[in-house]
Amino acid sequence: MEREFDVVVIGAGVAGEVCAGRLAERGLSVAVVEDRLVGGECSFYACMPSKALLRPVELLNEARRVPGLVVGDLDTRAVLKRRDEVISHLDDSGQLPWLEERDIELVRGRGRLDGERRVRVGEDVLVGRRAVVVATGSTPLVPPIDGLADAHPWTNIEATTATSVPTRLAILGGGVVGVEMAQAWSALGSFVTLVHRGDRLIEREEPFASEQVADGLRESGVEIRLAASATRVSRNGVVRVSLDDGSELEADQVLAAFGRHPTSDDIGLETVGLEPGGFLRVDDALRVPGFDWLYAVGDVNGRALLTHMGKYQARLAADAIMGRDVAIRSDGARSPRVIFTDPQVGAVGHTLAAAQEAGLRARAVDVETSGNAGGSFVGRAAAGTSRLVVDEERRVIVGATITGSEVQEALHAATIAVVAAVPLDDLWHAVPSFPTRSELWLKLLEAYGL
Amino acid sequence: MEREFDVVVIGAGVAGEVCAGRLAERGLSVAVVEDRLVGGECSFYACMPSKALLRPVELLNEARRVPGLVVGDLDTRAVLKRRDEVISHLDDSGQLPWLEERDIELVRGRGRLDGERRVRVGEDVLVGRRAVVVATGSTPLVPPIDGLADAHPWTNIEATTATSVPTRLAILGGGVVGVEMAQAWSALGSFVTLVHRGDRLIEREEPFASEQVADGLRESGVEIRLAASATRVSRNGVVRVSLDDGSELEADQVLAAFGRHPTSDDIGLETVGLEPGGFLRVDDALRVPGFDWLYAVGDVNGRALLTHMGKYQARLAADAIMGRDVAIRSDGARSPRVIFTDPQVGAVGHTLAAAQEAGLRARAVDVETSGNAGGSFVGRAAAGTSRLVVDEERRVIVGATITGSEVQEALHAATIAVVAAVPLDDLWHAVPSFPTRSELWLKLLEAYGL
């Protein structure tokens, strides 16, 4: 059967849903195609369950810093139970009313392009008169390390949904998934060893962020092995990981946290002359160059593999499809981002090194995140640094990194300042309330010399 | 003895200290005069100790919302002990090195103007060649209610430093001090009755903030009597408060929380032809009109009785004294402000009503503060509303109010947006990170129709 819609969206993860929703709310007929869970990786196997595991850890650590609170150890069962609630026990039926209310047609099955404006789902063909939006996301990357695939490693999927706590957990990869899962599972009782091939964890962030996160993990009992790579993995009752320094480690479970691979191998790209398997590159209106009807949003386009950036792209793509002039303004490595370890890391825009590489006349100023009156109450004596990277020519902030306890909501002020290029002289008049830790802004501007 | 300085600052509260510090750091010779504690009301009897009492309450309530944490009741002794640490047991010697490092001369005693550029302290006279800055702050207002003064009521001073918990506490006044102290002492075990003459608490804020704070206090066991005023107070073992509705209430302690009176009665204003007793009005450079050498910063000038605004004014006044062109840009009722109840209230700029009164074509959009993915983890199911007030002509935000659990750091994003008048269209590109509650910005902009 062939059916026509204004727009067909392949993939009902968060980006696909947002794009479909925005189009449907403005009266377009929309179909979304999904062969797995509506809501996608983020809702069920990434951001949401990981934060359900991490919030109690963060809050417990903070509660222990505040005299007067009487706190016991984490109740692992209650944490996992809440995590199961957050992921609705891996049942996506709770997502369906949102689609129904918007008259979005949900088509269950694997969607593949089938020539111009056509999407095949099994025997059916959906035609997107105005556009087809690819929002197929990404899958965990499992590199060809000897024995790794056969050892059936955890990926983010199992690491966020596991129902019991491994006694010993080896984590391969010290990026965001690696450090967040190390934090979560060590707090829940695992003995975690984190193996990372680089010299420091979360290498895209400021060096001080890497150091503080490593220190925090070590304090939680995580063993960190830097500049080390797995060369061989085997599972035989226990998991054995051989490292390139000749050592070996033994664990009960191994998590492969090496990054992401775009879900583009088997979505029919070849039917329109595009190469399968890579990121589906798009222009600043989220359109695939050379195809006025083909858009890609979210992880699959490789611009910024972050849920909120996928949602942002989805809104822009929807607007572009509806004929508005759009241009992405927040993108790539400069996108706002939060890592929910303890300390947390919130960052937006350039790191100092990235700004200098980009050829900017950049200067960084640093203060302690809790080095102000508000820090007597929140994140007291906890590690944390706040850095602004200033473009000395334009006198605007081009980057900010804030680490510390409970800093996730502090980032948005920096995001606004960076994205809107608010002049430093205006920021000087934006007075942080006393006694909140937002006075870090005041200290930073004073350190800069205003 | 007569001594000359570039600048003499009367009052070493936070505003006076900041002004003196900024001047001294730039090489001016500065004396500050203080007859009480260096650090002032805020450090010892207001913001700092009140937040020391309130932070455990806020965090305990939040911890109870997060499954997996095991928390007991507040340990009152530990809370009071931490409060005592925060106020350094009312010893200001910890503040002195900061002054010494900057070569600021501290003169202990009551400072009084003594003609142009002259400040008398006992037998000594300090001359401010360039300027004299009045930073004498304010004192609690105790209105002439029959018997009130004789009943020796608590003011903010005793309410923030008390070492035991009154069984029954009557609070007169439902402004910021009233609601914060009701929250703190009820959590510490007092049965609190809060009497307020208005129809709603914290009347300068949005009506929903008043309602939610009242609900929160009631849930903590506070009895609230609105549209009621004390007509008579007596203390005879117990305190009896007669109300104008004919009822009477009995308590073990009574807190007078009626507002502030400028500390200007006895500071020698008459020696330069100014009227004592009122707010010392200043222009936008913090200068007293008609006197090129006389400045007033902080509570005493009546512009915005908030510590951070006093600090802001102090920086501006210092810059003005050093010859820079300055003009205050954040001021009065539109100043950023946070009330540390549970829910907290953070606000900046106009309320909707204030914007309309100011003649703006204003429109408000509201969302639930925790009505987003981040709200699954922080402030889960807790009351909270976020409102933007948009100036429809300029398409900028002229006011924001955010209520909810742990929202104090969320305000600064709004402060930047309001003060820098960031266009709505720019805010649309400032993407909040997922899953943080900062996505309230996204929901607000969507509600507005972007």
Mean residue pLDDT across chain B:
97
Q: Are A405 and A344 in contact (CB under 8 A)?
A: yes
Q: Given CA atoms B67, B70, B71, B72 in this order, what sign does their dihedral have? A: positive
Give the one of A81, A329, A437 whose C-beta lies nearest to B409's C-beta. Answer: A437
Residue B328 tokens, joined: 């205050």
CA distance A352 to chain B (A): 20
Co-location of B268 and B247 in the same domain: no
Residue B446 pLDDT > 90, yes or no? yes
Co-location of B22 and B131 in the same domain: yes
Residue in B404, B52, B348 with CA at minimum distance from that of residue A409 = B404
Give every CB contact of residue B114 below 8 A, 6+ residues apart in sequence: B120, B125, B268, B271
**Is A96 inside a domain boundary?**
yes
**Given pLDDT bands bounded at 50, 70 and 90, which one contains residue B354?**
very high
Co-location of B276 and B296 in the same domain: yes
Decide which of A258, A280, A307 is a domain's last residue.
A258
Co-location of A16 and A74 in the same domain: yes
Q: Is B193 helix (H, G, I), strand (E, B) or coil?
A: strand
Give the one of A74, A409, A429 whose C-beta lies nearest to B68's C-beta. Answer: A74
Quick check: A415 and B427 CB within 8 A?
Answer: no
Q: How many helices (H) and strands (E) does chain A have?
A: 13, 21
Q: Is A181 helix (H, G, I), strand (E, B) or coil?
A: helix
Residue in A396, A449, A448, A398 with CA at minimum distance from that of residue A426 = A396
CA distance A52 to chain B (A): 7
Decide which of B235, B258, B281 is a domain's last residue.
B258
Q: Is B57 helix (H, G, I), strand (E, B) or coil?
A: helix
Strands (E), A102-190: 105-108, 111-113, 118-121, 124-134, 138-140, 168-172
Question: What does the pLDDT look like over A350-402, one tens digit per residue?
Answer: 999 999 999 999 999 999 999 999 999 999 999 999 999 999 999 999 999 99
CA distance B25 to chain A (A): 11
**Is A122 inside a domain boundary?**
yes
Residue A102 tokens, joined: 């918007």
**Given pLDDT bands bounded at 50, 70 and 90, which one contains residue B450?**
confident
Does the beta carbon of B36 lie under 8 angstroms from any beta carbon of chain A? no
Size of interface A-B (CB pairs under 8 A): 256
The residues in A 39-78 lying below 8 A from B, measured between CB atoms, are 42, 47-48, 51-52, 55-56, 59-60, 62-63, 66-76, 78
Residue B289 pLDDT > 90, yes or no? yes
Quick check: A412 and B432 CB within 8 A?
Answer: yes
**Is B327 inside a domain boundary?**
no
Residue in A33, A27, A13 with CA at minimum distance from that of residue A268 = A33
**Is B334 inside a domain boundary?**
no
Give the one of B59, B78, B410 whose C-beta lies nearest to A62's C-beta. Answer: B59
Residue to substitute from A408, A424, A431, interface B, most B β-carbons within 10 A: A431
**Is B326 inside a domain boundary?**
no
The residues in A 165-204 lying below 8 A from B, measured between CB atoms, are none
* CATH assignment of the domain containing B380: 3.30.390.30
Using CB atoms within 10 A of its CB, is residue A177 exposed (0-12), middle (13-18) or buried (19+)? buried
Does the beta carbon of B413 lie under 8 angstroms from any beta carbon of chain A? yes
**What confidence score (pLDDT) does residue A450 get?**
87
Residues of chain A short of pLDDT 50, as ranges, are none
Residue B435 tokens, joined: 């899953």
The residues in B 4-23 lying below 8 A from A, measured between CB atoms, are 14
Domain containing B219 equals 149-258
Co-location of B134 and B275 in the same domain: yes
Question: What does the pLDDT look like over B191-225, one tens digit per residue?
Answer: 999 999 999 999 999 999 999 999 999 999 999 99
Co-location of A247 and A381 in the same domain: no
**Is A225 inside a domain boundary?**
yes
Quick check: A415 and B430 CB within 8 A?
Answer: yes
Co-location of A242 and A159 in the same domain: yes
**Is A279 inside a domain boundary?**
yes
Q: Which amino acid is at A313?
A: Q
The residues in B 267-296 lying below 8 A from A, measured between CB atoms, are none
**What confidence score (pLDDT) does residue B214 get?**
98
Strands B2-10 and A2-10: unpaired
Quick check: A63 and B59 CB within 8 A?
Answer: yes
Co-location of B85 and B9 in the same domain: yes
Co-location of B170 and B193 in the same domain: yes
Does the beta carbon of A412 lie under 8 angstroms from any beta carbon of chain B? yes
Using CB atoms within 10 A of its CB, is residue A124 exposed (0-12), middle (13-18) or buried (19+)? middle
Which residues in chain A have their CB less than 8 angstroms from residue B419's CB?
426, 429-431
Quick check: A72 and B70 CB within 8 A?
Answer: yes
Which residues in chain B have their CB less than 8 angstroms from residue A79's CB?
67-68
**Given pLDDT bands bounded at 50, 70 and 90, which one contains residue B173?**
very high
Quick check: B82 and A68 CB within 8 A?
Answer: yes
What's the structural domain count of chain A? 3
Quick check: B329 and A429 CB within 8 A?
Answer: yes
Q: What is the largest CA-CA distance in chain B?
A: 68
Question: In angstroms, what is the C-alpha Rg of chain B?
Answer: 23
Quick check: A426 and B419 CB within 8 A?
Answer: yes
Q: Are A67 and B79 in contact (CB under 8 A)?
A: yes
Decide which of B234, B258, B282 is a domain's last residue.
B258
* CATH assignment of the domain containing B254: 3.50.50.60
Co-location of B347 and B317 in the same domain: no
CA atoms within 13 A on the CB side of B226: 12
Does the beta carbon of B306 lie under 8 angstroms from any beta carbon of chain A? yes
Does the beta carbon of A381 lie under 8 angstroms from any beta carbon of chain B? no
Question: What does the pLDDT look like over A397-438, one tens digit per residue?
Answer: 999 999 999 999 999 999 999 999 999 999 999 999 999 999
Co-location of B130 and B179 in the same domain: no
**Is B296 inside a domain boundary?**
yes
Compute the distance between CA of residue B87 and CA of residue A191 in angstroms, rounded to an integer: 41
Q: Are B215 and B263 in contact (CB under 8 A)?
A: no
CA distance A270 to chain B (A): 33
**What confidence score (pLDDT) does residue B146 get?**
97
Q: What is the DSSP letter of A81?
A: H
Co-location of B38 and B89 in the same domain: yes
